[in-house]
Amino acid sequence: MATEIERKFLVQDDRWRSLGTGEYYKQGYIPTQDQTAVRVRIVGDRGYLTLKGKNQGMVRAEFEYSIPLGDAEMMLATLCRPPFIEKIRYRIPQGDLIWEVDEFSGENRGLILAEVELKTEHQAIALPAWIGQEVTGDPRYYNSNLVNYPYQSWPENSDV
């Protein structure tokens, strides 16, 4: 079984910006009856279909498959419920890890998150200086929840 072990953090400043280049992502979610997330994603000119199981802390089952771009576009248009998640993802190498920094746009404008995938739940990591508060396990920051409860709609962000 494919497993994702991931920690997620808020980004506290702009020192990361010069460390990587970004790529545009657009993604939507196909509605399900349970806590399984079915994501359709376009990255540049590539399409992906991903199934994710329920989070158990920082661990969950994840299966991702490349699909034709046209299929991804059709799924987003016909099967996924708007709004969509739109972001620029920056991949930043730090030691033996790759940090992914997501700068959201649209209804999630103002939110910048950093994620790092680990080999084990107890893997020790050095946090870059630009990393802020850890939000691993906080469902508000799951992309699948940001579709239904965008960052701009949070009362504390109404003026962002």
Q: Cα–chain-centroid distance for residue 108?
A: 12
In sequence order, what are the residues at sequence separation of 6 or more whose Cβ sits closer than 8 angstroms to the Cβ of residue 116? 6, 7, 97, 98, 99, 100, 125
Burial of 19 (0-12, 13-18, 19+ CB in 10 A): middle
d(CA 12, CA 130): 6
Q: How far apart are the first and last CA of the chain?
A: 40
Could you tell me which residues come within 8 angstroms of residue 149 by beta carbon, excluding any fewer than 6 positions away? Answer: 140
Active-site option among 29, 48, 90, 141: 29
As a whole number of angstroms, the distance between CA 133 and CA 9 comes to 6
Catalytic-residue membership of 142 = no
Residues belonging to the active site: 29
